[in-house]
Structure 1
């Protein structure tokens, strides 16, 4: 790494060279220093406690995955925040990422403005947009049924399974899901999961 170790840097970890180059260009155009790594092992071998900034890491890479790397980073003295990007998003992966305090979880192709906003918030030590929106007063605005649906969605259940568990139709589940996401300001399931983890949402029936 050629950048000053104490300078705020975006550390890009992705095994696709075209993605690395595109992200490096995007961040450079917005005034951010970057450092590129082709795999998690290379990054973990190079990282130093004095490094500052944010890690943007893909999930699926040859060798160690981005999620496995995130677990290692959670114990590293640098305490670098992580933004997870993936072309293969699923609820289980999002839950894992947020369990280890990911700043954001973005599916490729992602919105560049959202990625830049997440990077800048992480560098300033601010909560993610989803965490800032998902306040307790907003959560308390949910109805009892909406809380139940939210907890089951975060557990990875689909509309049909949730409906069967709660004795309602899948269409009714979708209506509750849409309403609770609107109340919490969640634009997608990843943000909903982020909000739930930010406030340690209890399982269905315990809110």
Structure 2
């Protein structure tokens, strides 16, 4: 996995430089942006990342940026900063998906802690996204008959019931089941059921 990356979005050049320098001193790779429009055009990196974002900016403010990211399906953790924090603003920020809300001037240790927590969160999310992508790829490798077998097996049907539902012999049903287990990388029925839940595959239950 590539090194973590932090995006710093603030129209105040001095604040932006200060945050970038703080992160660099802590060994964290960071990239600065002065305008929300420039940032939202950035492609989502395939690496753990987070956004340190000023709330009040011309044109696109912090909440606008969060809204655009949400529409793009981007779950990038956001750490909001503001020099004019209020309780309603904090509530708005949290509803927009903020993982932290800091008041300027930001305490360096608080910002570093928030960044580390956000990167850890995104690393976990990224791992789950990659795992789900791998599961989808395995499921796509199944033949139509094997997919049908999988829905029957995860529904708790016995081999004879699977065979009857498929209109094949019990030996053939066992063969289909074995191939499903192998292709899906499942070591047990519990594994297969868990993978099906992740893929939101419906179960076919016995009557």
Coordinate RMSD, CA, aligned: 1.9
Match of 1:36 in 2: 32
- Give deviations 1:106-129, integer Å, cap 9, x for gaps: 110121111110100111118xxx
Match of 1:47 in 2: 43
TM-score when normalising by structure 2? 0.55
Match of 1:109 in 2: 105
Match of 2:80 in 1: 84
Q: Secondary structure at the match of 2:51?
A: strand
- Point out where structure 2 has 5 or more consecutive residues left out of the alignment: 123-207
Between the aligned partners of 1:120 and 1:11, the Cα distance in structure 2 is 13
Contact 1:49 1:78 in 2 (8 A): no
Residues 6 and 78 from structure 1, CA distance in 2 versus in 1: closer, same or farther, beyond 3 angstroms? farther
Q: Secondary structure at the match of 1:64?
A: coil
Between the aligned partners of 2:8 and 2:53, the Cα distance in structure 1 is 6
How far 1:76 moved relative to its partner?
A: 2.9
Match of 2:127 in 1: none
Between the aligned partners of 2:42 and 2:107, the Cα distance in structure 1 is 29
Q: Counterparts in 2 of 1:13-32, with a 5 A limit? A: 13-32=9-28
Between the aligned partners of 2:92 and 2:72, the Cα distance in structure 1 is 18
Residues 101 and 120 from structure 1, CA distance in 2 versus in 1: closer, same or farther, beyond 3 angstroms? same
Higher helix share: 2
How far 1:7 moved relative to its partner?
A: 3.2
Q: Counterparts in 2 of 1:1-207, with a 5 A limit? A: 6-48=2-44, 50=46, 52-125=48-121
- Give deviations 1:142-171, integer Å, cap 9, x for gaps: xxxxxxxxxxxxxxxxxxxxxxxxxxxxxx
Between the aligned partners of 2:23 and 2:84, the Cα distance in structure 1 is 23
Contact 1:51 1:78 in 2 (8 A): no
Between the aligned partners of 1:78 and 1:7, the Cα distance in structure 2 is 19
Between the aligned partners of 1:41 and 1:47, the Cα distance in structure 2 is 13
Contact 2:48 2:120 in 1 (8 A): no
TM-score when normalising by structure 1? 0.55
Contact 1:85 1:106 in 2 (8 A): yes
Match of 2:205 in 1: none
